[in-house]
Amino acid sequence: MSVSAINLAEVVDVMTRIYGRTLAESLDALALLEIGGLRIAPVDADVGLDAGALHAQHYDRRTSALSMADCVALATARALQEPLATSDPALAAAAKLSGVAVVALPDARGRRPA
């Protein structure tokens, strides 16, 4: 399983800013995931261009509010030919339309994307 470097930045932000962990605690938790096999994927020009194209294709403010970071995650999954794990229905829909398998994760209310 992999995570893009940009999406890793999002994880660190949420763990520290939203969940109140110290930066050291967040980095320790991520180090354990790396020991368990998580790979950090760089975001190169190909992934960046694909993310921009995916955003242009799938973004709609009212019906599919994908962030650029969402599209980086999807572009990374496509480049690595790995499934995309998400609880976000718009991202899951874009992944399926793009031919990427989805691992449907539960959101805060326990609901998984279709």
Q: Can you tell me whether residue 82 is helix, strand or coil?
A: coil
Q: Specify the pLDDT at position 26.
A: 95
Q: Specify the pLDDT at position 114.
A: 85
Return the CATH number of the domain spanning residue range 2-104.
3.40.50.1010
CA neighbor of 64 nearest in space, from 93, 27, 35? 93
CA neighbor of 91 nearest in space, from 20, 38, 100, 11? 100
> What separation, in Å, do the N-terminal and C-terminal C-alpha atoms of the chain show?
21
> Along the chain (114 residues), what's the average pLDDT of each consecutive run of 10 residues?
95 95 95 96 97 96 94 98 96 96 95 92
Distance CA 60, CA 40 (A): 29
Contact 62, 79 (CB under 8 A): no
